[in-house]
């Protein structure tokens, strides 16, 4: 009689999203955003959760900013006030004065966000004083991520997921912190997106076969999740444990064809009975 679990070698080692967070140090919510945006491959198990191969952990850590974003080519190369001041070799306060005097064109996106075209920021000349701020009308009206989220009725995180998934064109701009670029969108593009359905587009990991949860496998076997679990633990049914937060098995998964084959064998095994359940 079999006494130990039977590992299905046709299924690679797997972790759930908490297990991947443990391996990579990347927050669970961030990993979920990346998966839903198609930035990291995984596999959904009968709508009961996503599993990943631990092998992708290295790729996740090596690529801290994965993105399939579509750049809006109608938005020029922009920089923040801090960066523009640095490019001109003046203080930010002096740059603000030049803008308010109408001597340097810029675009006021919000009360606290003033953006300059890089070509303007790098230029050494300034215009004549007009006494009024000079709005740079060479490119369309913009909104930042907060403003875009409010127009679309979504959170900033959801908006960023849509941008990184390539479902809402936008453009980043350089800030004083190289690790935190800004993000803006054309107002018209955001307004046109109101009411449009944004569909998550996860990428299926081709190295993970179709899988069943313990519950689904148990139904096929004429029982419940404990039926599948017990047969796995006693070595009758091959499956694979999925590791979770602390590296411990959280649940089991099975290949459909293995479960179907086992179900037929269970009915006809020597001394077996179609009515008997594990």
Q: Are 66 and 164 in contact (CB under 8 A)?
A: yes
Give start and end residues of each alpha helix (H) in the chain: 17-24, 28-36, 57-62, 81-88, 92-100, 118-122, 145-152, 156-164, 187-192, 214-220, 225-233, 256-268
Residue 225 has pLDDT above 70, yes or no: yes
- pLDDT of 99 above 70: yes
**97 domain residue, yes or no:** yes
Residue 2 has pLDDT above 60, yes or no: no
**DSSP labels for 56-84?**
GHHHHHH-SS---PPB-TTS--EEEHHHH
Same domain, 211 and 264: yes
Q: Quick check: 48 pLDDT over 80?
A: no
Q: Both 84 and 61 in a single domain?
A: no
Q: Do residue 32 and residue 88 come from a single domain?
A: no
Does position 228 have pLDDT exceeding 70, yes or no? yes
Q: Indicate whether 57 and 84 sit together in one domain.
A: no
- Nearest CA to 142 among 113, 178, 177? 113
Q: Which domain covers residue 220, as residue numbers?
A: 6-65+203-268
> What pLDDT score was predicted for residue 275?
45
Do 105 and 59 reside in the same domain of the chain? no
Of the chain, the end-to-end C-alpha distance in Å amounts to 13
Q: Is residue 192 part of a domain?
A: no
Binned at pLDDT 50, 70 and 90, residue 19 comes out as: very high
Which residues, other chains included, contact 98 with Cβ-Cβ below 8 Å and sequence gap of 6+? Answer: 104, 126
Rounded-to-integer distance, Cα 73 and Cα 221, Å: 56
Do 13 and 58 belong to one domain?
yes
User: pLDDT-based confidence at 272, cuts 50/70/90?
Assistant: low
Answer whether residue 162 is part of any domain: no
Q: How confident is the model at residue 274, as a pLDDT?
A: 46
CA 232, chain centre distance (Å): 34
Can you give the pLDDT at residue 271? 65
- What are the pLDDT digits (tens) for 104-150? 999 999 999 999 999 999 987 788 888 899 999 999 999 999 999 99
What's the domain count of the chain? Answer: 2
Furthest-apart CA atoms within the chain: distance in Å: 99
Q: How many residues does the structure list for the chain? A: 278
pLDDT of res. 248: 75
**Residues 83, 60 share a domain:** no
Flag whether 139 is in a domain.
no
**Residue 67 confidence (pLDDT) above 90:** no
Residues 57 and 95 both lie in one domain: no
In a domain, 278, yes or no: no
Residue of higher predicted confidence among 211 and 201: 211
In a domain, 222, yes or no: yes
Percent over 90 (pLDDT), the chain: 72
Question: What mean pLDDT value characterizes the chain?
Answer: 91
Q: Is residue 143 part of a domain?
A: no
Contact between 11 and 52 under an 8 Å Cβ cutoff? The reply is no
When pLDDT is averaged across residues 74-85 and rounded to a whole number, the result is 96
Q: Pairing between strand 107-110 and 50-52?
A: unpaired
Looking at the structure, do residues 28 and 52 belong to the same domain, yes or no?
yes
Look at residue 91 and tell me if it is in a domain.
yes
Task: Judge if 86 and 38 occupy the same domain.
Answer: no
What pLDDT score was predicted for residue 273? 52
Residue 222 has pLDDT above 90, yes or no: yes
Query: What confidence score (pLDDT) does residue 277 get?
Result: 43
Q: How confident is the model at residue 8 (pLDDT cuts 50, 70, 90)?
A: very high
pLDDT at residue number 52 = 97
Number of neighbours of residue 122 by Cβ within 10 angstroms:
12
- Asked whether residue 188 carries a pLDDT value surpassing 90, the answer given is yes
- Helix 17-24 / helix 28-36 crossing angle, nearest 10 deg: 110
Residues 46 and 102 in one domain: no
């Amino acid at each position: 009689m079999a006494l130990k679990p039977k590992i299905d070698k046709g299924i690679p080692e797997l972790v759930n999203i908490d297990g991947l967070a443990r391996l990579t140090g990347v927050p669970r919510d961030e990993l979920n955003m990346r998966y839903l945006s198609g930035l990291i491959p995984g596999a959904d198990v009968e709508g009961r959760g996503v599993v990943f191969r631990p092998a992708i952990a290295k790729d996740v850590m090596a690529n801290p900013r994965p993105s399939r974003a579509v750049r809006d080519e109608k938005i020029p190369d922009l920089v923040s006030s801090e960066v523009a001041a640095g490019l001109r070799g003046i203080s930010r306060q002096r740059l603000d004065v030049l803008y308010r005097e109408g001597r340097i064109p810029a675009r006021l996106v919000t009360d606290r966000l003033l953006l300059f075209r890089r070509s303007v920021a790098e230029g050494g000349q300034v215009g004549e004083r007009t006494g009024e701020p000079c709005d740079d009308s060479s490119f369309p009206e913009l909104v930042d991520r907060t403003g875009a989220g409010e127009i679309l009725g979504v959170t900033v995180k959801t908006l960023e997921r849509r941008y990184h998934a390539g479902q809402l064109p936008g453009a980043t701009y350089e800030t004083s912190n190289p690790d935190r670029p800004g993000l803006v969108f054309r107002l018209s593009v955001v307004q046109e997106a109101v009411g449009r359905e944004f569909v998550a587009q996860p990428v299926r990991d081709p190295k993970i076969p179709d899988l069943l949860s313990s519950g689904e496998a148990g139904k096929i076997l004429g029982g419940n999740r404990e039926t599948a679990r017990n047969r796995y633990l006693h070595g009758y049914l091959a499956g694979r444990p999925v590791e979770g937060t602390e590296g411990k098995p959280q649940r089991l998964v099975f290949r459909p064809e293995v479960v179907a084959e086992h179900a037929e064998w269970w009915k006809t095994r020597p001394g077996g009975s179609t009515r008997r359940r594990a």
